[in-house]
Amino acid sequence: MSVLTRDEAQTRASLLDVHHYAIDLDLTRGDETFDSRTVIRFTVRAETADTDTFVEVKPAELRTVTLDGHPLDPAALDENRLALKNLTPGEHELRVDAAMRYSRTGEGMHRFTDPADGETYVYTQLFLDDVQRVFAAFDQPDLKAVFDLTVTAPEGWTVLANGITEHTGDGHWKAATTPRISTYLVAVAAGPWHSVRTEHRGLPFGIHCRRSLAPHLDADADELLEVTRGCFDRYHEKFTEPYPFDSYDQAFVPEFNAGAMENPGLVTFRDEFVFRSAVTDTQRQTRAMVIAHEMAHMWFGDLVTLKWWDDIWLNESFAEYMGYQTTAEATRFTDTWTDFGVTRKPWGYDADQRPSTHPVAPENVEDTASALLNFDGISYAKGASALRQLVTWLGEKDFLAGINIHFERHRFANATLGDFIDSLAAATDRDVHAWADAWLRTTGVDTLTPRITGDNGDRALTVDHTGSRPHRIAVGLYDRDLTDEGRLTLRSRLDVDVPQSEPRPIGKRPALAVLNDGDLTYAKIRFDTESFQALRTGLAGLPDPLTRAVVWNALRDAVRDGDLAPTDFLDIARTHLPHERDLALVDGVLTFAGTQVADRYVTPEQRPAALATLTDLCRDLIRRTEDGDHPGLRLIAVRHRIATAAHPDTIAAWLADGTVPGGPELDPELRWRILTRLAVLGATDEAAIAAELAADPSATGQEGAARCRAALPDPEAKTRAWEAMFATDDLSNYLFTATAQGFWQPEQADLVRDYVPRYYAEAVAVAARRGPAIADAAGRWAFPAHAVDTDTLRLGRQCLDDAEPIPALRRKLTDQLDDLARALRVREAAAH
């Protein structure tokens, strides 16, 4: 499929005004294809001479095409482009009749049959350039148009779309006409949905899921709608522009590649957010944040849309920042920035230190394939961190004033970074353009280190700064609690601008100085020697969870940079994590300790001791939560106890009993976790997996079974799993991921050694055949991350040099190989 270049998009936008799409979809044509008929009305600008352009469509069969009543040859379709030649100035009408393929990879029109009850559902995911898999379009974000949609669906189905839908009889549905929106934001979801509907502020609201999840959606409906209403009302307090669409539906759809998608009026979410097993409050908070994030897009992304994909950050950074901030303001989840600090921000830090890094706002994104790669930790986490620093520097009042100027200037149109900065500049006297150059056009992570000088009670603080960005931070000065050596109390919190003009007097020496206390900027921080020693005994005694998140991130960065031995990190975790009560912190630290420290950063010889440390830590947390007052904390401890089990006895007994002693009882999610770990350890077999699947024949059960089967330490099982991923194209995106997650295990390095050199060529081939979504899964989950050795690194670099992987896979391999090289450096540093 030819990708659209920036130059081509600019040329086409200079030639055309697109006014209206009439789209008719027939979903009753079978399991493989659906019919798509499109009428596009557009104008060629009068100042242009007779000109050529093209429309995009990727059909199974292109039946007929007519331009202004004259037939065009369907055979002239070149890959996904149909040339429109010798267009004269004035109005034109293009009609396209095609059969389109359903997708099994979450792209275009995805089709899913629920194994729990046999019901079928379809939904669109048209981002970034997948609209052409569903209907013909001038597919670029700055050619906005009005859309009218009709759908023919099987009897008993409900059709959802960007606007209110009406069933006109005999399976025919009509959606209300949209305002001007971009092609990638058109949405359809059809099937026998279970729906909960209500109204708020005169608008219809709905939440929808497949029928087999109905009891779980109903159980959480009040919470979901309460969060939705709270965020909706809060945005109307922040924004002067009212919600710009006629309804607000949220559909939880199966096998969704992203967390969610901001289709105006019809947000689609991955249906794991309909919780069917026990979850922690942090997971509920994450779901609330995603709801808030997608709702922010209704204004920033949908009402005002980027002109080209170099301004992805205008969508995602804004929604990420607003999602966390508004969740904290409008819902019961008030500690969202702690979760951001320990789970999202490291995503940005890691991405920004790889060869694939890019500015938050890159200046030249050449084509759509390149643009897709920039939906990463920089566009989301770093960009949101930059906006949080901007609000700290600018003040929230001026920030929101600039936002509202931006909405007023560009409503239902497109805008660039320059437009956004101009809008902010109109609301403040500060030099926002200089700020944007320093923060949005640069790459890399600054580092801040405290230096305390002077004698006795006449001390001064200097913040040493490696990097180029200005920072406004808080510095927390902490003293030891005289009544409890394990506690650190806040003496004062200083506001400091970096670079500093002069050292800051602080009086007597504090036990601990924490830079970026409150986590208001984006930078790695370090500790002076005395502060680090204080942390070793007093980390758990810091009073604020956000401060502790800053400290844990600093320790994490120190491990990754080779400045703190992985075993020392585990010792600090073992000492302090049993006393931690913030769920996001416990889960984040344990996840890093398990998946990075134990699985990659320590040597194979050190790994059993690392797992034993984590097992003991989890056992302590389980013991400390026996009173039942901390179910979320206990659930996290149980999950990680399962993941770190080096011997099967305890978790096998849990599975046999159906419960952890003292709780919780094992729900399907926990049962599949245990069975997967037992498979890795060789303590279960195909009969047990089949029995578990018979008890839980859901889609999640199918994924659990695929994961377990791939994890079995049996040569035949590995062969079957490998062939399922790479020799056939039968696996859906989710089943491919589940199989890949089970395949590579550190405990099975010898068994799978011969597959490591095979991986590169076969991943390149499957990515080329199946496209970006499978390429992402093959690069992220099927990569042999456990194989931390120079041969794996050499083979990977050779693949990048010689094999020409498609861009989505190349980016993933580049990142994976950089992480592998870092793991080797960490091991080498720890050895010395």
Distance CA 476, CA 471 (A): 15
Distance CA 643, CA 647 (A): 11
Distance CA 255, CA 106 (A): 6
Length of the chain: 832
Helix H segments across 452-538?
529-538
Distance CA 705, CA 689 (A): 6
SS (H, E, C) 683-705: CCCHHHHHHHHHHCCCHHHHHHH
Sequence-separated (6 or more) residues with CB below 8 Å from residue 657: none
Q: Two tokens at 92?
A: 């034109």
Helix H segments across 280-416?
281-297, 312-330, 336-339, 345-352, 368-372, 383-394, 396-410
Strands 120-125 and 81-87: unpaired
Helix H segments across 186-253?
214-238
Q: Which amino acid is at 187?
A: A
**In angstroms, what CA-CA distances link 377 with 373, 383, 689?**
11, 8, 36
Distance CA 378, CA 357 (A): 8
Backbone angles phi, psi at 299, to 5 degrees: -95, -55
Residue 812's nearest CA partner among 712, 747, 740 is 740
Sequence-separated (6 or more) residues with CB below 8 Å from residue 283: 275
Distance CA 138, CA 12 (A): 9
Cis omega before residue 71 (within 30°)? no
The Cβ of residue 659 has, within 10 Å, a number of other Cβ atoms equal to: 14
Q: Provide the total of helices (H) and of strands (E) in the chain, helices listed first.
A: 27, 28
Task: Spell out a b/e string for 544-565, using b for 16 or more CB atoms within 10 Å of the CB, else e.
Answer: bbbbbbbbbbbbbbbbbbbebb
**Helix, strand, coil percentages in the chain from 3-state DSSP, rounded to 5:** 45, 25, 30
Sequence-separated (6 or more) residues with CB below 8 Å from residue 476: 490, 493, 512, 513, 514, 517, 518, 547
> Is residue 460 within 8 Å of 503, Cβ to Cβ?
yes
Among 56, 262, 272, 294, which one carries the catalytic annotation?
A: 294
Backbone angles phi, psi at 456, to 5 degrees: 50, -125
Distance of CA 54 to the CA centre of its chain: 33
Distance CA 263, CA 184 (A): 8
Q: Two tokens at 532?
A: 């680090």
Residue 294 is among the residues annotated as catalytic for this protein? yes
Residue 710's nearest CA partner among 671, 736, 749, 673 is 736
Sequence-separated (6 or more) residues with CB below 8 Å from residue 595: none
Task: Give 384's Cβ-side CA count (13 Å radius).
Answer: 26
> Is residue 342 within 8 Å of 583, Cβ to Cβ?
no
The burial of 253, by beta-carbon neighbours within 10 Å (0-12 exposed, 13-18 middle, 19 or more buried), is given as buried
Distance CA 325, CA 366 (A): 33
What are 479's strand-pairing partners? Answer: 489
Distance CA 674, CA 645 (A): 9
Residue 512's nearest CA partner among 470, 483, 541, 549 is 541
> Is residue 106 within 8 Å of 130, Cβ to Cβ?
no
Catalytic residues: 294
